[in-house]
Structure 1
Amino acid sequence: MKKELSALDAKYEAQKIAFGPLYFQAVMAMLELGVLELIGKHRNGISLSDLKEKSDVSEYGVEVLVEAAETIDVVRKNESGLYQITKIGFYLLKDEMTRVNLNYMKYVCYKGADFMKESITTGRPMGLKTLGNWPTLYEGLSQFPDDVKKAWFDFDHYYSDDAFPHALEIVFRENPARIFDVGGNTGKWAIACCKYSPEVKVTILDLPGQLNVARENARQNDLSDRIAFHQINLLDDAQKIPAGADAIWMSQFLDCFSKSEILQILKNAHQAAGENTFLYIMEPFFDNQRYEAAKYSLVATSLYFTIMANGNSKMYSVDLMKSLVAEAGFELAEEFSLIGDSYHTILKCKKK
């Protein structure tokens, strides 16, 4: 249980929320203008006048940005009156997770966040209109502006790539000859599987826009003969996952859907699965994390689903996912928790 704050501290925390958007944009400006990097390079500190000269930012601009950064402990003034970077500033400048999250918030979510109330009341991603006119984000993903697309894929890949080496070991313990990559997106997992095993063949199941990207990536990796493509909209219950897979793989896929939609998709996978087919679900469950920063980021990601993705999905708890797996007719064969140094748990499931 968290320690109860004093009234004064609680009021201060409330102001952090009130002014949070401005401080966020101030930090982004410092990063993009190179001001924070300059401060970080001067271990003994740097003056405002030197910052102005070396950054080519006006005296006024340097002052307001540095004062904001000092207020939120991104930089601090030393005994000589010079500005130095803090540990928080270091992570903003150098940490990959923080960089990915910052860019994701700015390019994908920031403008859309203004439509939070409308998204909650309608159950639709009302912030998505800031990027384009699509019913859900996934239908427009391949058409995003380049900076938005880069931020989205950097975020998506960051929270999966570290898990892939360990996930490959887990999946290939069963020596699958054919894998169905459901929601395969750019084909990154399918390509990794083919490079891991020279015999395996993979079919990517996804929407047409994503399949076009995956098809090109497979071609560039000389894997067009081993990676097949199956167009499917899994929200259409009439479209069935075909039979024939030894392994059905879903990585950071089910969190893109509501509970009822997840159950529908899992039942679809159940009808496709044979007696010896394993279903693998890899997700960063918010309640199964090593660090508070990871949980904090994942819970915030639920709000992204609310405003931008589809208006009805979220990051889930591991127990909720297990209950949906069981309701769909699968049993849990094994659970691999927080594989490697990742945020992910893999649920290995088999048809009852």
Structure 2
Amino acid sequence: MLDKKFSPERQSAFEARFEAQKIAFGPVVFQCVRYAWKRGMLQAIADVGDTGLSVEQMAASGRWTPYVLKVVLETCLSAGVVYLSEGRYVLDKAGFVVLTDPITQVNIDFNHDVCYQALFSLEQSLDAEKPLGLKVFGDWPTVYEGLSQLPEPARGSWFAFDHYYSDTSFPDILPDVFATAPKRVMDIGANTGKFTLAALGANASVKLHLVDLPGQLAVADKALQQAGLRERASLHPTNLLDDGAALPDGMDLIWMSQFLSCFSEDAIASIFRRVAAALSPNGQVLIMDTFWDRQRYDIASYCLINTSPYFNNLASGNSKVYQSDDYVRLAKAAGLDLVTARDGIGYCHSLLRFAKGD
């Protein structure tokens, strides 16, 4: 595992105290910057370039009062999103990122629409190891049972977050998927069928077996029918938290993408045992996931590490973004050995290939 230290080597006591205050006021800064982005303040400033805009000039548009502008833009100033030049606000580099970077916008929407209200219950969720924050949306044991029923904008932001991180990786990994010429592929945690559609489109002879909860498979079923690929796909509604729920056997390849991080270590161990039993004699397992210890840049590790509280508070109560060694250890216990590991896929994915041990 790569060593990680997110603070500067020679951080002074004064600098450390400043960083601590950023943590203390983090929720306030988040909401004000989001407001400035969503309500068009940042765009209005960006439109005039380096000349910037004064509060009076912006208020003259009638879109915001001077009071609101001062409250929001002063917080943005403190966060390095804008800067002041001769009494005018100018977009700074962090503000440009908020305004133009899709992954930043996806992360902001996810944290606001899905996580923000629920995080008030994080303390209780951590103590109980149950997703108690989920109550802000509905009465489900985990978020996965309620995905198809989440209210908007939470539902849209959840899927945008999930797909943005995974979809960019699919074109890169399809050669890995078909490297062993599999004929029967099982997609565990198929969700809305994105990977299945990509695999069926890339190979005319392969057959896919989709495993997920009924609600997700209903969405995947519709997508497969619309694409004219339904006849090469079999749906297997399964609750993987049920240790007795067996998987279809004789699989040449079993695929799991951003799936195992939804479960506790005990549940992952159970899934690995059933996966091993479902493989054909020469079958293999491909796992694509976001491991915080395999990232080249600290910014990626930072985002991944701070996604783990969502898994505790909303998803399942006992899952997280794992280190890669956790998967390798749990797979080994189920009789699966790591064959290869490939990093740098998409934004922050790695691909682990396993096979049955001797």
Question: What 5-or-longer segments of structure 1 have no aligned partner?
Answer: none
- For the residue of structure 2 that corresponds to 1:230, the secondary structure is strand
> Distance between the aligned counterparts of 1:174 and 1:271, measured in 2?
19
Aligned residues: 350
The alignment status of 1:351 with 2:334, answered yes or no, reads no
Tell me what 1:9 maps to: 15
On the 8 A contact 1:43/1:84 being kept in 2, the answer is yes
The one of 91, 109, 120 equivalent to 1:114 is 120
The one of 104, 114, 118 equivalent to 2:110 is 104
TM-score (norm 2): 0.95
On the 8 A contact 1:204/1:228 being kept in 2, the answer is yes
How far did 1:4 drift?
Answer: 4.1
What is the letter of the counterpart of residue 343 of structure 1?
C
How far did 1:320 drift?
Answer: 1.6
Cα distance change of structure 1 residues 175 and 53 upon mapping to structure 2, 3 Å threshold: farther
Tell me what 1:61 maps to: 68
- For the residue of structure 1 that corresponds to 2:60, the secondary structure is helix
Question: What 5-or-longer segments of structure 2 have no aligned partner?
Answer: none
Question: How do 1:209-224 and structure 2 match up within 5 A?
Answer: 209-224=215-230
Tell me what 2:151 maps to: 145
The one of 147, 150, 163 equivalent to 2:169 is 163
How far did 1:248 drift?
Answer: 0.4
> Distance between the aligned counterparts of 1:53 and 1:275, measured in 2?
73
Give the stretch that moved more between structures: 261-270 or 81-90.
81-90
- Provide runs of 4+ in structure 1 moved above 3 Å: none
The one of 334, 337, 343 equivalent to 1:331 is 337
Tell me what 2:320 maps to: 314
On the 8 A contact 1:185/1:211 being kept in 2, the answer is yes
On the 8 A contact 1:274/1:351 being kept in 2, the answer is no
How far did 1:55 drift?
Answer: 6.1
- For the residue of structure 2 that corresponds to 1:275, the secondary structure is strand
How far did 1:12 drift?
Answer: 1.5
Alignment RMSD (CA, Å)? 1.2
Question: How do 1:205-244 and structure 2 match up within 5 A?
Answer: 205-244=211-250
TM-score (norm 1): 0.97
The one of 75, 85, 88 equivalent to 2:82 is 75
The alignment status of 1:135 with 2:141, answered yes or no, reads yes
What is the letter of the counterpart of residue 167 of structure 1?
I
The alignment status of 1:300 with 2:313, answered yes or no, reads no
> Distance between the aligned counterparts of 1:275 and 1:342, measured in 2?
33
> Distance between the aligned counterparts of 1:329 and 1:250, measured in 2?
17
How far did 1:201 drift?
Answer: 1.4
> Distance between the aligned counterparts of 2:213 and 2:356, measured in 1?
26
Give the stretch that moved more between structures: 285-294 or 50-59.
50-59
How far did 1:189 drift?
Answer: 0.2
How far did 1:89 drift?
Answer: 0.5
- For the residue of structure 2 that corresponds to 1:250, the secondary structure is strand
The alignment status of 1:51 with 2:51, answered yes or no, reads no
